[in-house]
Structure 1
Amino acid sequence: MSRVLTIGVDDDLAAAFRANGGAVLALGPAAATDGTALGLLGDADAPALLALGAEVPLPAALALAGQAEVVSSGTSVVLVAFADPDLWKEAMRAGVRDVLSPHADATEIQAVLARATGLAEARRSAPAPVGTPPAPSRRVVVVASPKGGVGKTTVATNLAVGLAAAEPGSTVLVDLDVQFGDVAGALALVPQYTLPDAVLGAASNDPLVLKTYLGRHRSGSYVVAGSDSPVAGDGVSPADVGRLLDMLGREFRYVVVDTAPGLTDHTLTALERATDLVLIGSMDVPGVRGLRKELDVLGQLGLVPARRHLVLNGTDSSGGLEMEDVERTVGGPLDLVLPRHKAVPLSTNTGVPLLEAGGKDPVTRGLRTLVDRIAPPAAPVRGRRARRRAGAR
């Protein structure tokens, strides 16, 4: 049963919360401003849901919502009101999680309670901030390509899985294809929150709140899933992306960014922060030429980081191109060549990344090599016993 604190909510709605599984403490509107609510929110057993009714003046309700984010990160704030777009925007910025109609039916109330309970549990289990290592060890790895369909998401998801396996809790994967990203699908995740949630409201400036909006993959990596729809994605600005990546870069050692094809404003924003660029092309004439053009443009913009990794994906011998021709066109050696292999579509269709499956096919081995380029494995430490044995020989 979820604990619910209502302030200034009419008796009928409070009774509806009780009827739908809430353990309700109902208080009058004065509790919003006299310190009573904050005292209850500061308890160890704080409510999962705080419902602010129409009897609470809107400025006081929004002020209390902002304070609740600080005092009790495990409490979801719901505003009881007839919503309009302007009110929604103001409420979200204050930290309100839902706007509930005064005439909400049982289904709506149950949904609000379920979201509040889930969020409270997620916030209680949110990861502690990763200890702050020296700045050079922080890595923002941008995975990009001049065109779609070259395996960019496959590489990005496997990088995140591989880095998370090397250092648990260290890695977050951001789906920055704001219109058609499918990182969640590639990882068989059904996200509760998506990119727009992570850049709006309290999550946009509070790392603790932001972490509650991250998905969690079984590999140990965290995920900012792509938008539910192109329309929702269009509401995410490059400035929003910059703030998000800056915040994640302070909280995680590895931030892996899967971008949209080409050079969108969002991708350029990510590249401004990149320590590593993984640039992927395909073994066909348009793919190779696109790779060269993108490198040239990024070079002119000064957006090629010192750690550059050129990847040619889906290679085979039937296209009539030789590797020497590709490297001559690109203007330098390739860092990784991944062959076409049946393991890749199987991985995509099942939502199990190759590095999670742990196969021995050449694509899996190549992806493991790429992980090691970004996070080289630590050298084994030889103990006293090993040294004695070495000295006894």
Structure 2
Amino acid sequence: MAKVPRVIIIDPDRESAVELQKMLQLIGFEVLASAGYGVEAFTLALQLRPDLVLLRVEEPLVRPIQTLVKLNDGMPDLPIIVYSTEANIRLMRQSMVGGASDYLQEPLTEEELEASILRVLERKEREMARRRGELEDPVPQGTIVTVFGAKGGIGKTTIASNLAVALAMDAHQTVALVDMDTRFGDVAITMDIPVERSIADLARNLHNIDRVTLRDYLVEHESGVRILPAPTRPSDWRNLTAAHIRDVVDVLAQTHDFVVLDTPGTFNEIVAAAIEVGTIILLITTLDMASIKDTVLALEMLHERFGNDEERIKVILNRAGMDTGVKEKDVERTLDSPLWWKIPQDIDVMKAGQLGRPIVMSRPNSKAAVEMREIARALAGIRNRNRAAKGGGLGRLIRPLFKRSA
């Protein structure tokens, strides 16, 4: 961003406004002034024409929401970020209906505040550029699910394949499953499909691909999942770059609701690209000490790149309940991160893999299949009322949204 963003604070609590001003100045933003609600706030915004407004909203809501609505009506292009000590749905909804661009829950952190401001201002810049005709029309974009783990043998391919099938069959989504395992590439075996063309072939011919010819490179599974297999010769990976991966995934995301990326238990340029493009990253670990140690390092790397983004980075414990001497609560403490989901140890998973038929199809009511089907439903935004009432999987998806911001 070329210029320093100019901000005004609307907060009747003067001490709070001063503290927020200090935080903003430390981050590097220019605070023009602060004001209370009503006429003072509207007059100040009209005179100073800031790039952004930070507005406190607390009960009773009459004055703060009235101020928010008036600002939005009078200056519809002015982004307004609401902050509050409360995180209840009613307050959030009224703020968003009133025109808020984002909602932050106190106590605020410098990292969170800066990220919100930059995100809101970038969105405004894109909107203005599109109005001026400087941007191309937006294209459809599906959700990219990167299944990642820092160690081999922890069930990534099994989870990726079953999630893809569950998304297609249970959630009725269009799904592409991409085998990006540069070492083994077992998706074809797990799904029992032939490999005639691979991701390497698609990448080589990407400039000639359209929505129709794209299907020639995908193998359609009986579940409806379209699979882009790994090359049968590992040497074919040598000609693929991170740019190829990004382009391939982008094309698939324009034509599918979900793109599931199965990655190897290592870290290289291909895996880095898969993580970078992921809308959501499912980090797989087990109760094995080596897996936990490697997952700690993987989380550090992901947090360094994306921040502590619980919406984007979800840790899944596979083979939960397995007797290794390690407790699940110890895993959370060691990782310093919550477990988003737990898939239980289930001997039927291995049997299904040997038959080349995902367990969500062969044994849909088995323990592991039930959990993977519910993960798929949660990713697709389909509420499972029974689980939500018990504080189960979908509750684990929703709760982080209201911890700090919405």
TM range (shorter): 0.5 to 0.7
Contact 2:147-2:261 at 8 Å conserved across structures = yes
Query: What's 2:306 paired with?
Result: 302
Return 202-211 or 173-182, whichever deviates more.
202-211
**Correspondence 1:287 to 2:291:** yes
Q: Kindly, what percent of the aligned residue pairs are identical?
A: 28
Return 369-378 or 175-184, whichever deviates more.
369-378
Query: What's 2:378 paired with?
Result: 373
**SS where residue 178 of structure 1 aligns?**
coil
1:341 to 336, 346, 360: 346
Show CA shifts across 1:174-202 (max 9, x none).
00113321111100001221111111125
2:197 to 193, 197, 203: 193
Q: How far did 1:366 drift?
A: 1.2
Distance 2:328 2:206 in 1: 50
User: Per the alignment, do residues 145 and 343 of structure 1 end up closer, same or farther by CA in structure 2, a change over 3 Å counting?
Assistant: same
Distance 2:384 2:288 in 1: 39
Distance 1:179 1:317 in 2: 27
Return 332-341 or 178-187, whichever deviates more.
332-341
**SS where residue 212 of structure 2 aligns?**
helix
**SS where residue 288 of structure 1 aligns?**
helix
TM-score of the aligned structures, taking structure 2 as reference length: 0.57
Amino acid at match of 2:356: G
Q: How far did 1:315 drift?
A: 3.0
Contact 2:149-2:285 at 8 Å conserved across structures = yes
Return 160-169 or 206-215, whichever deviates more.
160-169
Contact 1:274-1:305 at 8 Å conserved across structures = no
User: Per the alignment, do residues 300 and 169 of structure 1 end up closer, same or farther by CA in structure 2, a change over 3 Å counting?
Assistant: closer
Contact 1:198-1:244 at 8 Å conserved across structures = yes
Return 345-354 or 197-206, whichever deviates more.
197-206
Query: What's 2:114 paired with?
Result: none
Show CA shifts across 1:224-261 (max 9, x none).
00111111122222111111011111111100000111
Q: How does 1:41-56 map to 2 (within 5 A)?
A: none
Distance 1:340 1:158 in 2: 15
Distance 2:351 2:322 in 1: 22
RMSD value over aligned CA atoms? 2.3
Query: What's 1:359 paired with?
Result: 364
Q: How far did 1:369 drift?
A: 1.8
Query: What's 2:274 paired with?
Result: 270
Contact 2:322-2:345 at 8 Å conserved across structures = no
1:248 to 221, 231, 252: 252
Q: How does 1:135-284 map to 2 (within 5 A)?
A: 138-166=142-170, 168=172, 170-202=174-206, 205-284=209-288
Aligned length: 247
Distance 2:170 2:343 in 1: 22
Amino acid at match of 2:158: T
**SS where residue 280 of structure 1 aligns?**
strand
User: Per the alignment, do residues 334 and 169 of structure 1 end up closer, same or farther by CA in structure 2, a change over 3 Å counting?
Assistant: closer
Distance 1:339 1:375 in 2: 21
Contact 1:179-1:233 at 8 Å conserved across structures = no
Distance 1:166 1:247 in 2: 24
Distance 1:167 1:324 in 2: 31
Distance 2:208 2:193 in 1: 23
User: Per the alignment, do residues 191 and 285 of structure 1 end up closer, same or farther by CA in structure 2, a change over 3 Å counting?
Assistant: same
Show CA shifts across 1:108-162 (max 9, x none).
xxxxxxxxxxxxxxxxxxxxxxxxxx98972100000000000000000001101
Show CA shifts across 1:53-112 (max 9, x none).
xxxxxxxxxxxxxxxxxxxxxxxxxxxxxxxxxxxxxxxxxxxxxxxxxxxxxxxxxxxx
Distance 1:297 1:379 in 2: 33
Q: How far did 1:216 drift?
A: 0.5
Q: How far did 1:359 drift?
A: 3.1
Show CA shifts across 1:13-68 (max 9, x none).
xxxxxxxxxxxxxxxxxxxxxxxxxxxxxxxxxxxxxxxxxxxxxxxxxxxxxxxx
**Correspondence 1:314 to 2:314:** no
Contact 2:317-2:343 at 8 Å conserved across structures = yes
Contact 1:204-1:243 at 8 Å conserved across structures = no
Distance 2:269 2:225 in 1: 26
Show CA shifts across 1:351-381 (max 9, x none).
110111243221111111211221132699x
User: Per the alignment, do residues 362 and 203 of structure 1 end up closer, same or farther by CA in structure 2, a change over 3 Å counting?
Assistant: farther
Return 165-174 or 269-278, whichever deviates more.
165-174
